[in-house]
Amino acid sequence: MKEEYANTFFHLGCREEFLPNSFAIVTACNPMDEKLSEEVNHLRNERLKNTLKSKNFLALPVLGRSLDGLHEEESFCVNCSKEEAVSLARSYDQRAIFWIDEDNLEIIDCKLAEIEFLGSFKARILNV
């Protein structure tokens, strides 16, 4: 797993209290680390948003980004099971998802199903 994934911070598109106790952070951007244009990534995320809506999943916006702000990806906080999140991410050719249970943040490799514990989710929320 790329080190950058483990160094991701999050800018929430909603107030923290609106988040479920357990949820995934999923994106459709930059499949398998291929850098796509902002326009293409936006279209991919719109398709993901429509998929989430069709499955009746709550999809709250979140921006995953590096601390220095040089890399960021629009994503969604999704109220689904871990298995559903991995399956969804695979269908959009994603390398990994983030999983949050209470305040515990994990990154899950979608291909190998390896899980890495990253610590506190709240400690990674950016108040910008």
Band (pLDDT 50/70/90 cuts) for residue 128 is low
Give dist(CA 119, CA 34) in Å, integer. Answer: 27
> Which of these, 61, 67, 60, 62, lies nearest to 8 by C-alpha position?
67
Q: What is the pTM of this model?
A: 0.95
pLDDT at 90 over 60: yes
* Domain ranges within the chain, ordered by starting residue: 3-124
Confidence of residue 2 (pLDDT cuts 50, 70, 90): confident
Arithmetic mean of pLDDT, 34-42: 96
pLDDT at 1 over 70: no
